[in-house]
Chains A and B, each alone.
Chain A
């Protein structure tokens, strides 16, 4: 027989080995050489924490009592894994996309980040799982006691042993479970340790199984014969239990906090799930392969009354195989410890995040103002939670006395955690699920579970009185814990599963249908249900890159896609990284925070960045606050946007007005410059000749007369210029008073010709067709005459033909009377056409008698009269056409 001391030494050595592995794994991960730590194999093996000491020891005991029923506990998870595409795929994606740290976190996130819901789930999980932890402690001490000789049984204080085991596990969990506070809550050391333990327990169970089949029974054939002739040799399966337990184990597999931890939280790559989908059922199949043979041989070999839960140990011992028994002990030890570690880790995360931290933050009364020391507080709270949960497990073990059959407590725990399933999967697949529905379902299911499963497990007369068992709660017959609503004859476990889940789902659906979710809840619901539309296949999830990606997504939402991409690309370039995503360095984060602060304010930007980078250091309430704040900011920014659009419009109008004013100013300058020139030129001659006349002695009479007439001519020119300017100014300002008269066009033309012919130069020949000139006009005849005079005198001045000639032709154009003035002089250069009617547009003025205002005045007059004047270049000569106003004709 191995002595207790030897066994303890082996256990301690084994534990030291696990510590070392976990330590090196953490170190390798920190140094970035931990790729192998996250292989699909390790992922699959880590899932094996599903197989606890209950499985390792209890399955054989279960088989010894109920035959093949034990296998249902493995069939459910196998089906879930094989059917990964239906549910697990979505669960893992959602868990990763939303950074869910636990079942409670997932449920609370789905229902609008409700901390109430999270704390309810946490309390339920603690109540449901703590007995299970107690069960593991019990199995370790129980298995230890097997090795102690009967006469010295007293030397092993079971409670003391359990205490030291619990203590060791607490140390391990604190060390490797709260070592670093990752955004994604991954624990490389823990995962690698449980993977090693998974191998140990499989090897141990297979070794015992192979020994039993080939060492004792003598091969498969004889083994099968022995099975058939054993007390469990006939199929005697309760049909309802077969179905209910398979379904229950499937549900528990999905809802157990520790399974969520390894399956979702510790998941490195979604494709690992695809491999685990067949590799984990293979593991389960191997784990259960030799259960029945071991049970049958145990029943055969060992004296009646031996505890079948310990056949895995006692069979090799009875055969004198101490080494095998020790290996087997290590297998059981592994099963128990790995479960305790992960379950504690998962529960402590929940307790810390959803109970301790909110309370602490509220107590600090700072709310969303997250200061730097929060991470320390989180770690401290996490460690305290771990000690508390293991302590609770130990106390439960201590006070329950460790008597109940191992399997029973396992199933009760399963039913408890299965209550999470409707809220979880309802939330993932049904957008209509609401927070109140989830809460109602959870509470109803939990109450039914406590009443029908947990309390009755202590036996009649302990917690629930015998009267309650027989007559129902408060004497109500339909409230009997094992025959709800008076329906009797159902297996108690099936009864608890069916009623708790049925009422849970009913309450969940009914309340969801009648309540209305708040906006954040609806948003989250849509993101959860349609997770595959919103997220890309996340492969090769590098923690650093993932963070950058998240920062990018968040920044895009706040800054807009272009701006965010520009920012990130610039930073990536600066860091010398290829691609779009830079390393989230301290400097970049600060820079980004400032950029974001510009959009959403400093407090929010800080909270958002620390949410992504610091992970759990921001509480659920902060998230709520940020979400509400963002909504307000969005509205505010919409208003700003509208205002800014208005401003842009106004600015545009102002710019236009300014351009007009500038153009006007330029025109005014040019005009003044022109006027200056036109005034100064005649004045120069006047001044110069008047000085000559004054200062020159002995000028002849001829010269005196000549110079005086020059002065006179220039003075007249000046006067005319001033007249023209005033005339134009009056016309342009619209201050002119039209003097309406009725007269014949011919008379007006006659008057104009007369006026011009009176001038000094009479060389111009004017040809008219008097027959057409009988049109009667009703307009300002003097002004019209002014236009005609201008045109005729222009022809007189500028027509450079040898025999200058002007044809005045009255014609009917499109219902309006036109008067065309055609001369035979040199046509005006094409580039000057546009300027003809502009002020001071003297085209080829050498005699200096005109200021270039004549045609400008003509156009103004015609516009005032309601007509027009146009210029037409001819092959030989120029034509000005006066379009008379329609009503004038």
Chain B
């Protein structure tokens, strides 16, 4: 399988960090920072993994995830969700919506990479 990831995030510096980490592991990293058009982007690109921020301008990461899972084609697409809000309720909501892995910012780089590897293995 390919190693194609779509990173949906609006903070430039966080994009920079994740891109650095994933590309080093051999991933093809595409980024997108607008929530409203993110879903179309996913459908278009058909990535192997989506890293999704919880709070996005235009449409929240939770809504994007919910709509994504409603499409039978993407029910098993690995989605790693990141949030800076740090409320337990957000995690519950995300798990209900069908998130594959949920992480709170700030994260350690090792944590993110381990999660990404786990998700890819599971998907195979």
Q: Which residues of A contact B (CB under 8 A)?
A: 673, 676-677, 680-689, 691-692, 695-696, 710, 713-714, 844, 846-848
**B13, A710: Cβ atoms under 8 Å?**
yes
**B105, A680: Cβ atoms under 8 Å?**
yes
**B10, A846: Cβ atoms under 8 Å?**
yes
Question: In the complex, which residues of chain A have a beta carbon less than 8 angstroms from the beta carbon of B55?
Answer: 677
B54 closest partner in A (C-beta): A677
**B12, A847: Cβ atoms under 8 Å?**
yes
Between-chain CB contacts (< 8 Å), 26 pairs: A676-B85, A676-B86, A677-B55, A677-B84, A680-B86, A680-B104, A681-B84, A682-B13, A683-B106, A684-B105, A685-B16, A688-B14, A688-B17, A688-B18, A688-B21, A688-B107, A689-B16, A691-B108, A691-B109, A691-B110, A692-B17, A696-B24, A710-B13, A713-B13, A846-B57, A847-B12
A680 closest partner in B (C-beta): B84
**A676, B108: Cβ atoms under 8 Å?**
no
Question: In the complex, which residues of chain B have a beta carbon less than 8 angstroms from the beta carbon of A696?
Answer: 24
**A673, B87: Cβ atoms under 8 Å?**
yes
Question: In the complex, which residues of chain B have a beta carbon less than 8 angstroms from the beta carbon of A681?
Answer: 11, 14, 84, 105
Question: In the complex, which residues of chain A have a beta carbon less than 8 angstroms from the beta carbon of B18?
Answer: 688
**Which residue, A682, A686, A714, has most C-beta atoms of chain B within 10 A?**
A682
A699 closest partner in B (C-beta): B20
Report the bound CA distance from A848 to B10 in whole Å: 9
Query: With A677-B55, A692-B17 given, is the CB distance from A686 to B85 under 8 Å?
Result: no
Q: Which residues of chain B from 88 to 123 have any CB-CB distance to chain A below 8 Å in the complex?
A: 104-110
**A692, B11: Cβ atoms under 8 Å?**
no
Question: In the complex, which residues of chain B have a beta carbon less than 8 angstroms from the beta carbon of A710?
Answer: 13, 16
Query: With A677-B55, A691-B108 given, is the CB distance from A684 to B12 under 8 Å?
Result: no
| B66 contacts chain A at the CB level, 8 A cutoff | no
**A686, B11: Cβ atoms under 8 Å?**
no
Per CB-CB distance, the 9 closest pairs between chain A and chain B, nearest first, are A680-B84, A685-B13, A688-B17, A684-B105, A684-B106, A687-B106, A677-B84, A683-B106, A691-B109
* Nearest-Cβ distance from residue A725 to partner chain B, whole angstroms: 16
B90 closest partner in A (C-beta): A673
| B33 contacts chain A at the CB level, 8 A cutoff | yes
Residue count of chain B within 8 Å CB distance of chain A: 25
**A676, B84: Cβ atoms under 8 Å?**
yes
Total A-B residue contacts, Cβ distance less than 8 Å: 72
**B12, A692: Cβ atoms under 8 Å?**
no
Q: Which residues of chain B from 2 to 54 have any CB-CB distance to chain A below 8 Å in the complex?
A: 10-14, 16-18, 20-21, 24, 33
* Nearest-Cβ distance from residue A680 to partner chain B, whole angstroms: 4
**A692, B14: Cβ atoms under 8 Å?**
no
Question: In the complex, which residues of chain A have a beta carbon less than 8 angstroms from the beta carbon of B86?
Answer: 673, 676-677, 680
B112 closest partner in A (C-beta): A688
Question: In the complex, which residues of chain A have a beta carbon less than 8 angstroms from the beta carbon of B110?
Answer: 691
**Which residue, B12, B17, B85, has most C-beta atoms of chain A within 10 A?**
B17
Q: Which of A689, A844, A848 contacts B17, CB < 8 Å?
A: A689
Question: In the complex, which residues of chain B have a beta carbon less than 8 angstroms from the beta carbon of A847?
Answer: 12
* Nearest-Cβ distance from residue A797 to partner chain B, whole angstroms: 14
* Nearest-Cβ distance from residue A704 to partner chain B, whole angstroms: 12
Question: In the complex, which residues of chain B have a beta carbon less than 8 angstroms from the beta carbon of A673?
Answer: 85-87
* Nearest-Cβ distance from residue A831 to partner chain B, whole angstroms: 14
Question: In the complex, which residues of chain A have a beta carbon less than 8 angstroms from the beta carbon of B57?
Answer: 844, 846
Q: Which of A695, A844, A848 contacts B11, CB < 8 Å?
A: A848
Kindly list 10 other residue pairs between chains A and B, CB separation below 8 angstroms, not including A676-B84, A687-B108, A688-B14: A677-B84, A681-B14, A684-B17, A684-B84, A688-B17, A688-B18, A689-B13, A692-B17, A710-B13, A713-B13
**Which residue, B14, B108, B110, has most C-beta atoms of chain A within 10 A?**
B14
Report the bound CA distance from A695 to B108 in whole Å: 11
Report the bound CA distance from A683 to B108 in whole Å: 11
Report the bound CA distance from A317 to B57 in whole Å: 129
Question: In the complex, which residues of chain A have a beta carbon less than 8 angstroms from the beta carbon of B109?
Answer: 688, 691-692, 695
Report the bound CA distance from A798 to B10 in whole Å: 16
A677 closest partner in B (C-beta): B84
* Nearest-Cβ distance from residue A702 to partner chain B, whole angstroms: 13
A692 closest partner in B (C-beta): B20
* Nearest-Cβ distance from residue A605 to partner chain B, whole angstroms: 55
Report the bound CA distance from A686 to B110 in whole Å: 15
**Which residue, A685, A692, A844, has most C-beta atoms of chain B within 10 A?**
A685
Question: In the complex, which residues of chain B have a beta carbon less than 8 angstroms from the beta carbon of A688?
Answer: 14, 17-18, 21, 106-107, 109
* Nearest-Cβ distance from residue A664 to partner chain B, whole angstroms: 18
Question: In the complex, which residues of chain B have a beta carbon less than 8 angstroms from the beta carbon of A695?
Answer: 109
Report the bound CA distance from A680 to B85 in whole Å: 8
B55 closest partner in A (C-beta): A677
Question: In the complex, which residues of chain B have a beta carbon less than 8 angstroms from the beta carbon of A689?
Answer: 13, 16-17
Question: In the complex, which residues of chain B have a beta carbon less than 8 angstroms from the beta carbon of A680?
Answer: 84-86, 104-106
Question: In the complex, which residues of chain B have a beta carbon less than 8 angstroms from the beta carbon of A848?
Answer: 10-13
Question: In the complex, which residues of chain B have a beta carbon less than 8 angstroms from the beta carbon of A686?
Answer: 106
* Nearest-Cβ distance from residue A371 to partner chain B, whole angstroms: 67
**B85, A677: Cβ atoms under 8 Å?**
yes
Report the bound CA distance from A689 to B10 in whole Å: 17
